[in-house]
Homo-oligomer: A and B are copies of this chain.
Amino acid sequence: MVTLSDVAKKAVVSKMTVSRVINHPDKVSPELRELVYKAMKDLNYVPNFTARALVQKRTQVIKLLILEEMDTTEPYYMNLLTGIAVGLDKYHYALQLVTRNSHEIGPCDGVIATGMRIEDYENIIEQLEPPVVLFGHNDKGYDFVDVDNEKGIQMATQHVIDLGYNEILFFGIDLDEPFMQTRIKGYQKMIEKHNLNSHLFMMKNSSHVSQAKATKQLEKDEERIAFVCASDRLAIGVVRAAQALGLLIPQQVAITGFDGVFLDQISSPKLTTVRQPVMEMGEALADMLLQKIDLDGERLGNRIFQPELIIRESTIK
């Protein structure tokens, strides 16, 4: 194993100079700096993260605090997890999962939290010692990463309006969380803008439930109906409802989903959906938190990711 000392010897400088070249290159004269770079390259030097962590009193552990009931089989959460893991691995950090039930958070260098309810800020988030980054919008001053939910639903709604639909139903998830409120707002704004009637249907995020609700609406025998759904899971249920009634997609029924993680491709016809870059958002969470740790908890601001409208067979021939 090649160490700092080996590089120092090879470059005929002290260990400290090598350490400085790595951490504060600007504090070393250009000549020595080059010498050290060359020695590192020749010896194929790889810094020892463990030694650095020890002296800097770091645990090299990040906790992911999940405050909502999550279905670990959901590809959505899995992708987020993977994104975070990818981001952390670059700096040799390990990830640990913590839920509401865990009595203590335990020692760590930073926390990523998701699924907070209002009271959680006071009871949990504020109590946290290490730096925190949140997944999902908040107005309490915490750094966060989120997708532009309003814009996403607006794109989907505008899309079916452009296709000539004027009976447009919104199928949402019955959770009183900011992300849902924002999606509802996006829908309603577009509906108002085009002088259409608003139809909100809130339900459990289950394809079987949305199938039942959609069936009821479709049996009313209207001319052409569009469904703007708050998840791909809901959208898949609507697809099945239309098919069971022998209605043509997308000629008589248009359907849009939300997430674009996995289910959109499984559906037949394939779903038009609002894709969230979930994995990238996970990576951004990790990047942001690690940077924040480096800067001793300094405020960094937010990162809002732009969703992408992916147009497929459920809305267009």
Contact = CB atoms under 8 A, between A and B. Distances in A.
Interface of A: 1, 46, 48-51, 53-54, 57-61, 72-75, 78-79, 81-82, 85-86, 88-89, 92-97, 106-107, 207-208, 211, 233, 236-237, 240, 243-244, 261-263, 265-266, 268, 279
Given A78-B79, A81-B85, A240 B262 contact: no
7 contacts: A54-B54, A75-B75, A75-B262, A78-B79, A93-B94, A211-B268, A233-B266
Contacts of A85: 81, 85, 95
- Does more than half of chain A's interface fall in helix, strand or loop, or is it mixed? helix
Given A48-B54, A78-B82, A263-B266, 16 more contacts: A1-B57, A46-B106, A50-B53, A54-B54, A60-B94, A73-B75, A73-B79, A74-B262, A75-B75, A75-B262, A81-B85, A89-B95, A94-B95, A207-B268, A233-B266, A243-B244
A94 B88 contact: yes
Q: How many copies does the complex hold?
A: 2
A92 B262 contact: no
A300 to B, nearest CB: 23
Contact of A89 (B50, B51, B96): B96
A107 to B, nearest CB: 6
A255 to B, nearest CB: 15
